[in-house]
Amino acid sequence: MIEFTPVTRNIGAEVTGVDLRKPLSEEEVATIRRGWLEHRVLFFRDQHITDEEHIRFATCFGTENMPAFNRHKTRVHVLDQVSPKGEGGDEWHSDNTFEPVPPMGSLLRCVRLPQVGGDTLWANAVMAFEALSPPIQRLCEELTAVHDITMSMKKAIAKGHDFDLAEVQARWPPLERPVVRVHAETGEKALFVNRASTTRLVGLSDRENEALLPYLIDHIRSPEFQVRLRWAPGTLAFWDNRSTQHYAVADYTERRIMHRVTINAFEQHADRDPDRGRGREVGVP
């Protein structure tokens, strides 16, 4: 029997009673999906699965999403890092909010770890919104923000990655998105700004942006919103990109290898979201 053991009161649960090497029944998929929506990030321990099994499990919950920077166009994106500090993962973010349709979720599996370090944290963005005072909530619900790939690209280039900034900017122009995102399946409202991609709040002066945007971005850092995972080979984390943000701790200088599959929503799970995850290109009516 599949069981969920909460890791903290507000986010995260460990899942037992399932073997990801085997195909799942419809009932098992439905049970895991309910737990995923409730706990926002699920941790599966001792799941020594292949890439094919990883993909099979992921596609029970959505359609495959090709990550923006997966140059090899493989279905499983390999994250092989030794010194990741400053590459962007070590900032609170939800994945690829600069894309017209950001991925619904991600399934990240640990293959190799440093002797110590390399933890990942997730934060509950729904709780972050709910913790704001009612006047700030109302203000945020009226606002949109610009999401731009430029900041993360400049960091990647500075770390030695070979990207053509102008080409990337042309492919993913800045988008305007709601500051408060409505979850397609639950109807919950989540704070939807992040340090990796959000550059400004639309319609506010520079001084107003300087005061409000950093506050909203840093608000997600409150410990009561968070859960921290200490990885082990064979651990798989499955998170909801619509209701969480995450942070990869860059405290290691030894090789760390992770395999990731990202997914988009099935069409039936996008219908309730009026924004449907999409942004409006800045300057385009």
Retrieve residue 75's tokens.
């279905």
Report the alpha-carbon distance of residue 44 to residue 36 in Å, rounded.
Answer: 12
Q: Is 95 a catalytic residue?
A: yes
3 state SS for the chain: CCEEEECCCCCCEEEECCCCCCCCCHHHHHHHHHHHHHHCEEEECCCCCCHHHHHHHHCCCCEEECCCCCCCCCCCEEEEECCCCCCCCCCCECCCCCCCCCCCEEEEEEEECCCCCCCEEEEEHHHHHHCCCHHHHHHHHHCEEEECCHHHHHHHHHCCCCCCHHHHHHHCCCEEEECEEECCCCCCEEECCCCCCEEEECCCCHHHHHHHHHHHHHHCCCHHHEEEECCCCCCEEEEECCCEEEEECCCCCCCEEEEEEEEECCHHHCCCCCCCCCCEECCCC
CA distance 157 to 235: 30
**Any catalytic annotation for residue 93?**
yes
Q: Is 77 a catalytic residue?
A: no
Our answer to whether residue 246 is catalytic in this structure is yes
* Catalytic choice (183, 246, 256, 259): 246
Catalytic residue among 40, 200, 219, 260: 260
Catalytic position from the list 40, 93, 219, 259: 93
Choice among 54, 95, 147, 240 that is catalytic: 95
Strands 77-81 and 198-201: unpaired
Which residues are catalytic, by number? 93, 95, 246, 260
